[in-house]
């Protein structure tokens, strides 16, 4: 298994531009999570899905952020318009509902820089 796949690995954009981050979870996993990591705030859960349905988006910072999961093998996190304070590493993770440890498997992350 290739694990959780995220793209792009690095993204540099200018303030005001739209940014789309992509995630492919591990095949068969029921849950998908989006996290953001910054030096100031550490790792924060933004939103998570169960069977493609958003369950809790209370961590999404503001309306500029949106996430979708059109099918079991793909999710996007979109920022429109982007701002410099959105610069962070964004991680996607997936887990299996019936997994022995409810373990979350993390992708390598997307490092976003907004100039």
Partner 1 sequence: DAKTTQPPSMDCAEGRAANLPCNHSTISGNEYVYWYRQIHSQGPQYIIHGLKNNETNEMASLIITEDRKSSTLILPHATLRDTAVYYCIVRPYSGAGSYQLTFGKGTKLSVIP
CB of residue 26 to partner 1, shortest distance in Å: 13
Choice from 7, 22, 64, 108 touching partner 1 (CB under 8 A): 108
Q: Phi, psi at residue 22, to the nearest 5°?
A: -125, 150
CB of residue 37 to partner 1, shortest distance in Å: 9
Sign of CA dihedral 43, 15, 25, 73: positive
Nearer to partner 1, 81 or 108 (CB): 108
Residues 15-74 that bind partner 1 (CB under 8 A): 31, 33, 42-45, 48, 50, 55-56
* Residue 22 CB contacts under 8 Å (≥ 6 apart), including other chains: 6, 7, 8, 74, 75, 76
For position 94 contacting partner 1 by CB under 8 A, the verdict is no
CA nearest 61: which of 35, 94, 24, 40? 35
- The count of chain residues that interact with partner 1, using the rule CB under 8 A, is 23
d(CA 21, CA 88): 12
CB of residue 45 to partner 1, shortest distance in Å: 6
CB of residue 82 to partner 1, shortest distance in Å: 22
């Amino acid at each position: 298994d290739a694990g959780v796949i995220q793209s792009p690995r690095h993204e540099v954009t200018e303030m005001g531009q739209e940014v789309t981050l992509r995630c492919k979870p591990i095949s068969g996993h029921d849950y998908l999570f989006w996290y953001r990591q910054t030096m100031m705030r550490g790792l924060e859960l933004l939103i998570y899905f169960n069977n493609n349905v958003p369950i809790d988006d209370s961590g999404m910072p503001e309306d500029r952020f949106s996430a979708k999961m059109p099918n079991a093998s793909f999710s996007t996190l979109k920022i429109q318009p982007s701002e410099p304070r959105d610069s962070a590493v964004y991680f996607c993770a997936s887990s299996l509902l019936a997994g022995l440890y409810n373990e979350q498997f993390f992708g390598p992350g997307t490092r976003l820089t907004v100039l």
